Structure 1
């Protein structure tokens, strides 16, 4: 019992010291200075100092350092002393309401923003009257004046961006710490590297520590480097970034889930009352079509924000008459199967059994072997040929709309009044437009296909007169009486994904397709 009482007494004695430890630091005075009895120029003078001296201070009060002077509290004006930063104390805290921070450009310090009170940073070293904070190849200069040493922990900066993206601010914007307390401002026309998203906030590294930004304070240039294999995960992240950057003219909506429960997303750009629809990757191996659709989102959104012209189209004017909805990946499980193999999915073993091989380059179906472009109800029961059981392609399923992916598309279309639908596929540089339209509709749709042919260089295929179809575009034509076009990118490459070497030409051929469709639909 006595030991417990002694321990408690000891803790009571040391706890105040522990609590104050981070607020104690050394200051060095000028050659002449005054110690006053209060934080006021009118208070009594306790000492007229005639040589520089070092004191331990317990904090700042109204511009005065507080010190212990011969057993009583004394005050030294901050203009008469400066903080001493010991080499081993590499962290510092801002104690003024705000102080500037700079970078060196052509031998001159250029202000990049301000740090606010309570901001805590880690310095690399000091130089003259500045802390130097090195972040990569950049060195930031922060005045010693207005800062104090601190033992407060710095947030770990080891987190790396899985999908690096650069953002830009056009005006001065706030920077927050992890607790969403503002710690700084960033001057106009700077760039930051986005690390991650947290709801409407972006995670960045600011002067060597993790920080937060308001996403809609920023814009992007090129979020996607499209000449690569684009995964579902990166695609989804990019859509979320665009949606949080531009909530005023975009909308991100989950329209359903795949067989494996993977969310399927649609994104709208523009505020037009009329709408058109484009999708990609209905067939798994044709995943370069996702790149086409996502690059449209990337490109059109920044031109909308900038009120600029792209490909001869005033993007904002065009999309505020007719908005574009994009479904970048209709078959996420199938795409993942082709890109990452069967071990990446719960039903991978089933797909391997269906395929008869672990090489899925030829795979078009969803994860359970249903060809989604044979699963729509446009004379589905009259489809002839194809496989009679689950296969890598051309199995129409046990019934029309048996698959959650085709159901999601059907339900989404029925909620809207789309003027046009483009279903992107590969390969062959051809397009299909016909599904027994009436004469006026047939004339309209063929004219649209011919204009798209001029735009892309792709060949318009003659009517097929199939007895039945399960294609999404054919169902769309039948359901809405509006144009539905299947557009096959790339020269024919056979039963494999389109090689990345084809990308540059594909984008040149298709970069204006969405804007043309929006403009054309505005006239109907």
Structure 2
């Protein structure tokens, strides 16, 4: 919600007026000089929207404020060009509407266009988040990262490395939405206050690593590649089993962590719907982007969301630090998912992260069944992993 500063107003006053933590207001206005506020200057108040309202007979600012349990001065701030003493029937004013519930729909097939739309909605409602395009897919679609928090502990989440595991993206976005609502409404999540987490953690989320693959599974092949992709898909127009990127490379078999072992033993020796690790490590734009992100950001821990199995993997070649065991025990406790230290697998993002940085890395296998997991599992998966999300920030 945007407001214009009046004479005598301060950000501290706005924090009190709207009951929004001051750091969230400051972070929502990064170009603002807090010590030199100017009358008429536009700023953003997170966690609120401007709601148009048409004046009816008998309305007054005082009655509207009382009926909606909002401050009279908040109404005056939003309607500085309106004379409250001479309201006219049919006149439009604006009411401050606190955002208290998620705006994301959970029962939709979640392609890259839906993700872009939801990210923009969250950025509008919670302008203290930072959104940037860290790279582009084979087809030129943006791979976006969402950042928030002021702390030194750097935690990273990502989803949809695999195309038909696209449900991981709306799960991540729903977790983020819950966290943002908790911050602006000062409401704990499962008894945990989140504003201290905002001060102690720097959170990074890449909700969709493989937008081309997700769109292929959900929307079918782009016209220019239709024949090529159907041929690669064994002549089928059903792409539900497709895990790879649009070039037929399995992105989670692309990282230089014993990649040669996977190259030798994987059955596909050419681009395929799944399991082909490419001709070399890090040949694909999507994996190059994710490797560069980890190198540049120096995350303290990493959680990659996949499906399925209701378990998670937390070790790699004995290179994981002791902290990983502590986190794994807590993740298992709060989610009911099975903690597995070692599996016979290499070249994944988690594997490379542990090998490269000796920091805790996790592959979280959400839900169970046949991929793509049905949306009917969404709420169960969300409740299962909410504890993991919180524990990864808290511990």
User: TM-score category by the smaller chain?
Assistant: 0.7 to 0.9
Q: Which residue does the alignment assign to 1:154?
A: none
Which residues in structure 2 correspond to 1:131-210 (within 5 Å)?
Answer: 171-172=74-75, 174=78, 185-188=93-96, 190=97
Q: Is the 8 A contact 1:112 1:187 kept in 2?
A: no
Which residues in structure 2 correspond to 1:10-409 (within 5 Å)?
Answer: 101-103=54-56, 109-111=58-60, 171-172=74-75, 174=78, 185-188=93-96, 190=97, 219=99, 221-248=101-128, 250-343=129-222, 346-356=224-234, 357-383=236-262, 384-386=264-266, 387-409=268-290
Q: Is the 8 A contact 1:303 1:315 kept in 2?
A: yes
Q: Which residue does the alignment assign to 1:419?
A: 300
Residue 509 (structure 1) aligned with residue 390 (structure 2): no
1:101 CA displacement: 4.9
Q: Is the 8 A contact 1:347 1:368 kept in 2?
A: no
Q: Which residue does the alignment assign to 2:22?
A: none
The CA deviation string for residues 299-336 of structure 1, in whole angstroms up to 9 with x for no partner, is 11111122221122211111210122111111000000
Q: Which residue does the alignment assign to 1:430?
A: 311
Q: Is the 8 A contact 2:149 2:199 kept in 1?
A: yes
Q: 1:274 to 1:442 in 2, by over 3 A?
A: closer
Aligned residue among 443, 451, 454 for 2:322: 443
Q: Which residue does the alignment assign to 2:15?
A: none
Residue 471 (structure 1) aligned with residue 379 (structure 2): no
* Separation in structure 2 between the aligned mates of residue 446 and residue 254 of structure 1, nearest angstrom: 33
Q: TM-score, length-normalised on structure 1? A: 0.58
* Separation in structure 2 between the aligned mates of residue 518 and residue 304 of structure 1, nearest angstrom: 14
* Separation in structure 2 between the aligned mates of residue 348 and residue 516 of structure 1, nearest angstrom: 43
Q: Which residue does the alignment assign to 1:518?
A: 393
Q: Is the 8 A contact 1:308 1:316 kept in 2?
A: no
Q: Is the 8 A contact 1:101 1:112 kept in 2?
A: no
1:436 CA displacement: 1.7
* Separation in structure 2 between the aligned mates of residue 319 and residue 516 of structure 1, nearest angstrom: 14
The CA deviation string for residues 392-443 of structure 1, in whole angstroms up to 9 with x for no partner, is 11000111000000011111111112111111001111111111234xx443
Name the SS for the 1:293 alignment partner: helix
Q: How many pairs align?
A: 323
Q: Which residue does the alignment assign to 2:29?
A: none
Name the SS for the 1:313 alignment partner: coil
Q: Which moved more, 1:457-466 or 1:444-453?
A: 457-466
The CA deviation string for residues 458-487 of structure 1, in whole angstroms up to 9 with x for no partner, is 112241255xx2201101111221111001
Q: TM-score, length-normalised on structure 2? A: 0.76
Q: Which residue does the alignment assign to 2:30?
A: none
* Separation in structure 2 between the aligned mates of residue 444 and residue 234 of structure 1, nearest angstrom: 36
* Separation in structure 1 between the aligned mates of residue 61 and residue 270 of structure 2, nearest angstrom: 64
The CA deviation string for residues 221-251 of structure 1, in whole angstroms up to 9 with x for no partner, is 2111213222211211211222233333x11
Q: Which residue does the alignment assign to 2:373?
A: 498
Q: Is the 8 A contact 2:300 2:359 kept in 1?
A: yes
Q: Which residue does the alignment assign to 1:14?
A: none
Q: Is the 8 A contact 2:145 2:205 kept in 1?
A: yes
The CA deviation string for residues 90-149 of structure 1, in whole angstroms up to 9 with x for no partner, is xxxxxxxxxx95247xxxx33479xxxxxxxxxxxxxxxxxxxxxxxxxxxxxxxxxxxx
Q: 1:101 to 1:390 in 2, by over 3 A?
A: closer
> Which is bigger in relative contact order (C-alpha 8 A, separation at least 6)?
2
* Separation in structure 2 between the aligned mates of residue 350 and residue 445 of structure 1, nearest angstrom: 43
Q: Is the 8 A contact 2:321 2:358 kept in 1?
A: no
Q: Is the 8 A contact 1:427 1:490 kept in 2?
A: yes
Unaligned runs of 5+ in 1: 1-99, 114-168, 177-182, 191-217
Name the SS for the 1:487 alignment partner: strand
Q: Is the 8 A contact 1:337 1:348 kept in 2?
A: no
Between Structure 1 and Structure 2, the one with more strand by share is 1
* Separation in structure 2 between the aligned mates of residue 431 and residue 103 of structure 1, nearest angstrom: 57
Q: 1:101 to 1:420 in 2, by over 3 A?
A: same
* Separation in structure 1 between the aligned mates of residue 61 and residue 136 of structure 2, nearest angstrom: 45
1:184 CA displacement: 5.5
Unaligned runs of 5+ in 2: 1-52, 63-69, 81-90
Q: Is the 8 A contact 1:273 1:322 kept in 2?
A: yes
Q: Which residue does the alignment assign to 2:357?
A: 480
